[in-house]
Amino acid sequence: MGRTMAAKIWDDHIVAAREHEPDLLYVDLHLVHEVTSPQAFESLRLNHRRVRRPDLTLATMDHDVPTRGGRAAADELAERQMSALEENCRREGIRLYGMGNARQGIVHVIGPELGLTQPGLLIVCGDSHTSTHGAFGALALGIGTSEVEHVLATQCLRQRRPKAMAITVEGALPLGVTAKDVALGIIARIGVEGGRGHVLEYRGSTIRGLSMEGRMTVCNMTIEGGARAGVIAPDDTTFAYLRGREYAPAGDQWDQAVDRWRALATDPDAIFDREVSIDAARLEPYVTWGTNPGQSVPVSGSIPAPSTETDERALQYMALEPGTAIEAIAIDRVFIGSCTNARLEDLRVAASVIRGHRVHPKVRAMVVPGSASVKRQAEAEGLDALFREAGFEWRDAGCSMCLGMNPDILGPGERCASTSNRNFEGRQGSGGRTHLVSPPMAAAAAITGHLVDVREFN
């Protein structure tokens, strides 16, 4: 019987497999950031252990870096975490792209843009959105700090083999519908724990038609559907993106790598444990109305009547009444950023909506590029000037208000149209109310001051 792509990658990385025990897997790339690593390094030290493969490890600072004012603007605790990461990387010989480095950025943005994220690799990071890297046909798993320590010490990870679920999306995306809406549509369909225990493989003509940026957005949100990881078969789009990047193979090695990568695709006779089909023609721009990413409706819709206590609690937190048209909801803030939607393509799309308009006077809007490199490229194209002139704040790279660990947070009761990935209670700031949307939807909301259907905006 054939194997799925995830199974092939899994099998290629088995160091030891024993009955009744999780498999021991070899990790090709370990991405490290300041928030989930300090306790892991401390524990290594206490146990007189060293990092086994610093040459397969890369660190950056993203979660609590300030996005303006430089490092001096960091609070004391953030500064402590950044200093600790510097010290840990220095001691262990790990390459660090820290604050101020030209290659710094959100860990899931820089891995791909450096060409480190490659098909067939097993990638881990102490962050749930590690699923992003699956867009390249890598098996990418988010792990906890104890596992970070384990990988630092052994370059291996113990995991039980997950099940496989195929998510097939077919057809052309309707106008105004983005990869973000594909992701939100999938989560609305399978639910926030629908993917539990599975690796999702996104397939079908819609997925093949997405750019790498779009594929990353879809894989990024995999974790919001409860799944372990998401993968997309590498193809010419993948290879075109990777070619020529700093860490990508070059010369003869390039052709060999492409041959290897092409063989990763799921075999025609492989069997998935579960299959879900989605018709792209029926997708719309979505807006979340509640406090988990599964609680969404098309922007043309209205707040649904609560059917569970969870819904009721969500509506109460969000201060929304059933029956209210989505487009009637006024917003205070707009956040364009995060590992979900802060790559160059996202900024370009948002900019195209903003061109010729100004941010609504009651709205405070910000753009936080996903990496220093995205920021430079956007500036080279004049996007920064366009955003600034329209009234947006143009910030330095980082996770920023996606999780509000740095000074970028919502005030209590503030309502935000956000391109990020989680609308959990208090995520963007205590009492803050998050509506997850695509970058063009966020841009349009910034201009009108309320949630608005981007399809009718221009």
Partner 1 sequence: MEPFTRVTGILAPLDRVNVDTDQIIPKQFLKRIERTGFGPFLFYDWRRNGDFILDRPAYRGASVLVTGANFGCGSSREHAPWSLLEAGFRVVIAPSFGDIFKSNSFRCGLLPVEFRECLLNGWDEVALTLRDETEIARYEADRSTELPRTA
What is the contact surface with partner 1 in residues (CB under 8 A)? 15-16, 20, 24, 26, 28-29, 47, 49, 54-58, 93-95, 115-116, 118, 121, 146, 149-150, 153-156, 158, 247-249, 253, 256-257
Task: Tell me which residue of 287, 280, 345 sits closest to 109, measured CA to CA.
Answer: 345
Nearer to partner 1, 24 or 73 (CB): 24
CB of 265 to partner 1, least distance (A): 19
Nearer to partner 1, 350 or 372 (CB): 372
CB of 102 to partner 1, least distance (A): 16
Can you tell me the distance from the alpha carbon of 207 to that of 168, in angstroms, rounded to the nearest whole number?
Answer: 8
Tell me the CA distances in angstroms from 131 to 80, 230, 319, one per residue in order.
Answer: 28, 6, 32
CB of 243 to partner 1, least distance (A): 14
CB of 43 to partner 1, least distance (A): 8
- Over its C-alpha atoms, the chain yields an Rg (Å, rounded) of 21
CA angle, 334 then 454 then 280, to 5° = 115
Nearer to partner 1, 117 or 338 (CB): 117
**Owner of token pair 């989560």:** 187
- The SS3 of residue 431 is coil
Nearer to partner 1, 31 or 188 (CB): 31
Task: Tell me which residue of 207, 208, 206, 200 sits closest to 224, measured CA to CA.
Answer: 200
Asked if 386 and 409 touch (Cβ cutoff 8 Å), the reply is no
CB of 208 to partner 1, least distance (A): 25
Asked if 287 and 436 touch (Cβ cutoff 8 Å), the reply is yes
Task: Tell me which residue of 193, 259, 203, 265 sits closest to 5, measured CA to CA.
Answer: 265
CB of 153 to partner 1, least distance (A): 5
Nearer to partner 1, 54 or 304 (CB): 54
Nearer to partner 1, 55 or 379 (CB): 55
CB of 269 to partner 1, least distance (A): 25
Range list of β-strands (E), 17-138: 23-26, 29-32, 57-60, 95-97, 122-125
Nearer to partner 1, 194 or 429 (CB): 194
